[in-house]
Chain A
């Protein structure tokens, strides 16, 4: 990405329910450890913030130790250039654990601390799997917390094209899965059940399909609930398949329109929902029609991980410099966009 010498960075990610640490050299992943808390939250059908905070505190030191071990680095003065951690957006009680750990490690090892935006981390995730990307690309970032379309002209150069006006796509998956009694997390559960269902069994709304680049999913969730109330005999398989088809169609249509509107050289998927098989397949088809590449990150790079935070942190260290130790965690931190002055922390 730059002509400069790649730097080695320890990345830490605790913004939601994954406790993660990774060692990254430029955009090469040296080690990446993710301790998922899925089992802890599954019985509640969603992430319980206080349980997540408690688990991060219990797990993080060991996860950092594993990431260093797997990278062949000692814990006393490891040869790293900086410690990078997610400082937002996310659950405040979870963010604070990772950020506090990272600041303390940077003090103890006398290396800079880099405060990373979680959304920017997701944008870097695709780069970790695809070394040669032609700019600009449209990134469709879809997760449990976010659904947005970004024009990425290169690392650090983002323009917002559209976003959900209500629920995130992943949130819709979680809520519908919970309603259908399919378990948590909702994305994989719905995808699994939908394989045996008819995606045309029910015609669920495709909100805002023909207007602009913003998206809406709360009406879809409500429509699913109403349909099942009206058709109590409806099979979960058919409901799940029809729901998934509606989400995928809207996401791909919006990403396609976004790519055409800026003349994008490719479309890139990011975020947990990017692991969804039908979405990946439909996006590849759409890109083939447009004659541009689809950059699909590996499944490990879709879900939250610390390698993407380390990669974003390494770039940030070289181009914007380190962050101050009194940086605050911000649960509502926005993606830094072009045409906005960007603070160096």
Chain B
């Protein structure tokens, strides 16, 4: 095999991504015996997910691609989850893969993928929705369904049904090796962009509370 994963590093330290990501990049290069200078491309997970951590990863990936002058390929967190499940399930698995990422505030990010020849093919848009609405949609399905991701774990009692399975803890987070394989395929296909053009996939409007603990209502308009 000409392409394959040489090294991966996954650090689980809560939300301390800003402290962990650069040492992790350094570590995988050392383990793989690769100098960053020799890298031909970078691939980044653009979300959806928790905004702050997402931006740490994307800022790192954009800066690496910019500084190394190489293209930046992207994949969404939902794609990575679905492709990871498709790789693991093989052709005999469920017909429909449904990645579910916990969006907090009682909502989830989700999308549907059909398994075609053992690969995950998108079937519709990525959405922000309530787990109840997702459960209702899946309950009406006649295909066999596999849900995966931290949102699927959190709402497994709600989502689960005779034809709807929820994947285990090992499929709760997007796998960086799957992201790497998707990235190589996309880079080879020319599906990549300059670093400056890549942005996050938030799928939720920014919370526009300003940075003050208290607000003063403006004075009524005065006529002079």
Using a CB–CB cutoff of 8 Å, the interface residues on chain A facing chain B are 41, 44-51, 53-54, 56-58, 60-62, 64-65, 75-76, 91-93, 96-110, 113, 171, 175, 178-181, 221, 225, 228, 232-236, 325-329
Count of residues in B whose CB is under 8 Å from the partner chain: 48
Residues of B with C-beta under 8 A to A110: 36-37
- Among B65-73, B106-114, B124-132, B162-170, the stretch that binds chain A is B65-73
Contacts of A221 in B (CB 8 A): 216
- Nearest chain-A residue to B195 (Cβ)? A61
The A-contacting residues of B in range 165-224, CB under 8 angstroms, are: 195-196, 199-200, 202, 206-212, 216-222, 224
Given A48-B208, A76-B69, A104-B67: A61 and B62 within 8 A (CB)? yes
Q: A92-B52, A178-B218, A181-B218 are in contact. Are A99 and B18 (CB under 8 A)?
A: yes
Question: Which B residues are in CB contact (< 8 Å) with A92?
Answer: 52
Report yes or no: B23 in contact with A325, Cβ–Cβ below 8 A: yes
Cβ contacts under 8 Å, B2 to chain A: none
B145 at interface by CB-CB < 8 Å: no
The 8 residue pairs across chains A and B that have the minimum distance between CB atoms: A46-B210, A108-B67, A104-B63, A103-B22, A100-B59, A50-B206, A325-B22, A101-B63
Q: Are A108 and B36 in contact (CB under 8 A)?
A: yes
Least Cβ–Cβ distance between B44 and chain A, in angstroms: 11
Chain A residues with Cβ below 8 Å from B21 are 100, 103
> Can you list 24 A-B pairs with a CB-CB distance of less than 8 A?
A44-B210, A47-B210, A47-B211, A48-B207, A50-B206, A50-B207, A51-B206, A54-B51, A56-B55, A65-B66, A76-B67, A96-B18, A97-B55, A100-B18, A100-B59, A103-B22, A104-B62, A107-B26, A107-B64, A110-B36, A180-B218, A232-B220, A325-B26, A328-B19
Query: 11 additional contacts, CB 8 Å, given A99-B18, A104-B62?
Result: A47-B210, A50-B207, A53-B52, A54-B202, A61-B63, A65-B66, A93-B51, A98-B59, A104-B22, A108-B68, A326-B23
Interface of A is mostly: helix
Asked if A44 and B216 make an inter-chain contact with CB atoms under 8 angstroms apart, the answer reads no
Chain A residues closer than 8 Å to B220, beta-carbon distance:
232
Asked if B55 and A65 sit within 8 Å, CB to CB, the answer is: no
Chain A contacts for B17, CB-based, 8 A: 96
B207 nearest CB across to chain A (Å): 5
Least distance between B176 CB and chain A CB atoms (Å): 16
With known contacts A93-B55, A99-B18, A107-B25, A45–B67 Cβ distance under 8 A: no
Classify the interface of chain B: helix, strand, loop or mixed. helix
Q: Is B56's beta carbon under 8 Å from chain A?
A: yes
B60 and A100 form a contact (CB under 8 A): yes
- Structural contact, A62 and B56, CB atoms closer than 8 A: no
Do B51 and A50 touch (CB < 8 A)? yes
Enumerate chain B interface residues (CB-CB to A < 8 A).
16-23, 25-26, 36-37, 51-52, 55-64, 66-69, 195-196, 199-200, 202, 206-212, 216-222, 224
List the B residue with the shortest CB-CB distance to A229: B219
B19 & A109 in contact (Cβ 8 Å cutoff)? no
CB distance from A140 to the nearest CB of B (A): 23
Q: Which of A50, A93, A179 has the most CB of B within 10 A?
A: A50
Q: Does A225 contact B63, Cβ atoms closer than 8 Å?
A: no
Q: A75-B67, A108-B63 are in contact. Are A178 and B22 (CB under 8 A)?
A: no
Complex alpha-carbon distance, A235 and B51, angstroms? 44
Please, which residues of chain A bring their CB within 8 A of the CB of B59? 56-57, 60, 96-98, 100-101, 104
* Complex: A181 Cα to B217 Cα, angstroms: 10
Q: Please name the residue on chain A nearest to B57 by beta carbon.
A: A100
Nearest-neighbor residue (CB-CB) of B199 within chain A:
A58
Per a CB cutoff under 8 Å, which of B26, B62, B222 touches A101?
B62
Cβ-closest chain A residue relative to B67:
A108
Which residue of chain A is the closest to B216 with respect to CB atoms? A179
Q: Do the beta carbons of A327 and B19 come within 8 Å of each other? A: yes
Q: How far is the CA of A221 from the CA of B214 in the complex (A)?
A: 12
Indicate if the CB atoms of B222 and A328 lie closer than 8 Å: no
Could you tell me if B206 and A328 are in contact, using CB atoms closer than 8 angstroms? no
Contact between chains at A75 and B69 (CB < 8 Å): yes
Chain A contacts for B210, CB-based, 8 A: 41, 44-48
Say whether A179 contacts B208, CB under 8 Å: no
- Judge whether B18 and A328 touch: CB under 8 Å: yes
B218 A57 Cβ-Cβ under 8 A: no
Rounded to whole angstroms, the CA-CA distance of A329 and B21 in the bound complex is 13
**A98-B60 Cα distance, complex, nearest whole Å:** 9
Contact A49 B222 (CB under 8 A): no
Contact between B22 and A107, CB atoms less than 8 A apart: yes
Query: Which A residues lie within 8 Å of B68 (CB)?
Result: 76, 108
